[in-house]
Amino acid sequence: MTFTEQDVADFFDQTTQTYLSFWDSEGVLHTGYFASPDDEDYRAAAARTSDLLAAEAGIEASSRVLDVGCGCGNFLFELAVKTGAEGTGLDLSSERISFARQRQREIGAQKIDFRHGSATNMPFEPSTFTHVVSQDALFLVPDKPRSHEEIFRVLRPGGLFAFSDFLQPRKEIGQRARQHVYDRVRWSSGYSLIEYQQALAGAGFEILLARSLRDHISQTYRVLGQMARDRASTTDDAAARDWMLAFAASCGEIEIAISEGEFGWGIFVVRKPERADS
């Protein structure tokens, strides 16, 4: 099935509160990088993913960072604390942007702002940012080449784009993976690791790092499935309980899809050349 940006925005607007209620109440909603195969600490693993991307990108106090598909803003909050970098978050979901702004008021984070908008039509001047980051968001963009053009445009020459994203390692996707992995979150289609690099190179980027990390996504959904089951057993809200149990069931299917090569995850670091035309 092919989804539009509006389908994606509606899904994330409608499910934000449910995700917050069992996944992470502070809005950390991305794949974890686990310390070992029996590590079950999702929050620490999720922070490790952010630390890994920040280190690979070389983000520091003087950096001006754009987070595309920032969701509830957690990556920028962490970057501000750990590096002092200035940050802007952009997300298609007005619910997630509202949550990010509310949290920013609570934390009192300076030098960060949030904008509602799409990766395919960014409200920023060319060469605004030293770094663009993104965690598990760009797979949802129906017109991926357009989002790459936009990221290239808003990065300064020599700037780095460091991100994690979901992969579609093979072309043929079975009915169960289609239902539980793709359609469930309004994801139309993705790239394999090789196709992703070709698409980024086609947009003008130099590839510095491209690594598949599928074991970490499997572990993320194993841990999250258990968290959803635990939370479902203590909630009085019948609709929320049904949603969490359906999510937990999908987690089992997601692990099968990963082992079948129908779903993957990777991290990438690419650079806009110093002598880029735009």
Ligand X SMILES: C[S@@+](CC[C@H](N)C(=O)[O-])C[C@H]1O[C@@H](n2cnc3c(N)ncnc32)[C@H](O)[C@@H]1O
Q: Interface residues with ligand X (CB under 6 A)? A: 5, 8, 12, 28-30, 68-72, 74-75, 90-93, 96, 118-120, 135-137, 140-141
Instruction: Map tokens 């089951």 to a residue.
Output: 229
Closest residue to ligand X using C-beta atoms: 71
Nearer to ligand X, 83 or 135 (CB): 135
Nearer to ligand X, 52 or 206 (CB): 52
Shortest distance, CB of residue 245 to ligand X, whole angstroms? 20
Shortest distance, CB of residue 116 to ligand X, whole angstroms? 9
SS3 117: coil
Shortest distance, CB of residue 220 to ligand X, whole angstroms? 11
Shortest distance, CB of residue 80 to ligand X, whole angstroms? 15
| 260-263: long-range pairs with CB below 8 Å, 24+ | 260/174, 260/177, 261/169, 261/170, 262/168, 262/169, 262/170, 262/173, 262/174, 262/177, 262/181, 263/166, 263/167, 263/168, 263/169, 263/177, 263/181, 263/214, 263/217
Count Cβ atoms below 10 Å from residue 275 Cβ, excluding itself.
7
CA atoms of 149 and 278, how far apart (whole Å)? 10
Burial class (CB in 10 A: 0-12, 13-18, 19+), 176: middle
Shortest distance, CB of residue 192 to ligand X, whole angstroms? 20
Nearer to ligand X, 101 or 273 (CB): 101
